[in-house]
């Protein structure tokens, strides 16, 4: 496409790029169980939520190159626009060469929204506002009044609010500690987190309706919990791998130092499912203990693990909440 064509038809290019993204997510099967999400991804313009982002480039300052929609070079603007609709995560905040936050891969977002299993009339709390794109998809499906998104960083919530308004959506955007939920907007029928947890925050369950569903990244997986009441919830991990920035705020623990894996076979050290077990049991099992269990139990997949919340106790388990393999979470 020529630079002149881009200047004259940016909306057409955006629509075509968005349609291509929807086809790519279609082929992944992410929303097969709930194709209504297809309409949301067709309607919500992702580029409005990533007015700039960073791509890794050799030789660029800090290893990243900034692409933005206001670039005076039309070729760069076209690259930015096409990249905004790639089925890939986009780095949106970089400081001193370190990645601080990103816009998630759209097909993973579609998978998570489908697994959230929303119904018309559900009130949803999103933990981690990010760019606002996920909140916009929820608002398109459910309506602004039923969607709340919260983030600890006021710069993030302010930019998310602007992006949402530019896309025509005005859900509640709250600056606060996501680990504490948003009690003034409760009760919620669904909670979805777009940041990695180390446990299930105790403040969430009292803000849920009975039967509510919580979907959150934890230990490089996605845990889906069903809330029984204000003190009890239980569920299993999905098969999907998930890597997000950690939840910040009260009720979270510092990131663990990577375990020393020397002495284990190379194939084990790099195995995704073994590292999932190591992360899930951090502080409870030593690597050699985790390895012995992993081999003894046939190298279990993520779906065999689960989490139970009962009052003040939160624990992870393999196969059975009351079985022999259980590990406390903080």
Catalytic residues: 101
Q: Which residues are bridge partners to 56 per DSSP?
A: 64
Cα-based torsion angle of the residue sequence 230, 236, 240, 241 in order, rounded to the nearest 10 degrees: 80
Give the integer Cα–Cα distance in Å for 271 and 180: 34
Give the integer Cα–Cα distance in Å for 220 and 178: 19
Alpha helices in the chain (DSSP H): 3-8, 10-28, 36-43, 74-84, 106-116, 133-142, 154-166, 266-269, 272-280, 287-296
> Taking phi first (over 0 means left), then psi (-120 to 50 degrees means alpha), and beta for anything else, what does residue 76 get?
alpha
Q: Which residues are bridge partners to 190 per DSSP?
A: 124, 213
From residue 70, alpha-carbon distances to 12, 81, 151, 219 in Å are 17, 11, 27, 38
Lookup: tokens for 106: 């759209």
What does the chain come to in residues? 330
Please state, as a whole number, how many other Cβ atoms lie within 10 Å of the Cβ of residue 141: 22
Most distant CA pair in the chain, distance:
67
Give the integer Cα–Cα distance in Å for 148 and 126: 6
∠ CA 205-210-213 to the nearest 5 degrees? 65
Give the integer Cα–Cα distance in Å for 67 and 193: 27
- For CA atoms 166, 171, 174, 179, the dihedral sign is negative
Q: Is 64 helix (H, G, I), strand (E, B) or coil?
A: strand
CB 198 within 8 A of CB 253: yes
């Amino acid at each position: 496409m020529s630079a002149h064509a881009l200047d004259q038809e940016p909306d057409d290019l955006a629509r075509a790029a968005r349609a291509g993204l929807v086809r790519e997510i279609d082929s992944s099967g992410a929303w097969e169980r709930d194709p209504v999400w297809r309409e949301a991804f067709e309607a919500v313009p992702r580029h409005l939520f990533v007015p700039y982002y960073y791509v890794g480039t050799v030789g660029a300052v800090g290893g990243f190159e900034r692409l933005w929609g206001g670039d005076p070079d039309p070729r760069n603007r076209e690259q930015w626009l096409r990249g905004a609709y790639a089925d890939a995560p986009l780095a949106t905040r970089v400081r001193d060469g370190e990645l601080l936050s990103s816009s998630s891969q759209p097909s993973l977002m579609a998978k998570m929204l489908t697994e959230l299993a929303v119904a018309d009339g559900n009130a949803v709390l999103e933990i981690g506002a990010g760019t606002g794109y996920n909140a916009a998809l929820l608002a398109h499906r459910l309506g602004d009044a039923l969607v709340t998104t919260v983030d600890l960083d006021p710069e993030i919530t302010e930019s998310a609010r602007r992006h949402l308004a530019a896309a025509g959506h005005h859900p509640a955007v709250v600056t606060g500690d996501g680990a504490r939920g948003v009690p003034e907007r409760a009760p919620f029928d669904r909670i979805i987190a777009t940041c990695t947890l180390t446990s299930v925050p105790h403040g969430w369950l009292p803000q849920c309706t009975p039967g509510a569903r919580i979907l959150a990244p934890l230990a490089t997986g996605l845990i889906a919990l069903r809330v029984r009441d204000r003190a009890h919830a239980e569920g299993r991990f999905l098969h999907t791998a998930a890597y997000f920035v950690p939840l910040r705020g009260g009720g979270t623990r510092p990131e663990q130092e990577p375990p020393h894996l020397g002495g284990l076979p190379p194939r084990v050290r790099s195995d995704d499912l073994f590292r999932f077990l190591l992360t899930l049991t951090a502080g409870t099992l030593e690597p050699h203990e985790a390895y012995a269990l992993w081999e003894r139990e046939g190298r279990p997949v993520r779906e065999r693990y689960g989490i139970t919340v009962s009052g003040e106790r939160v624990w992870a388990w393999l196969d059975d909440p009351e079985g022999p393999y259980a590990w406390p979470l903080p």
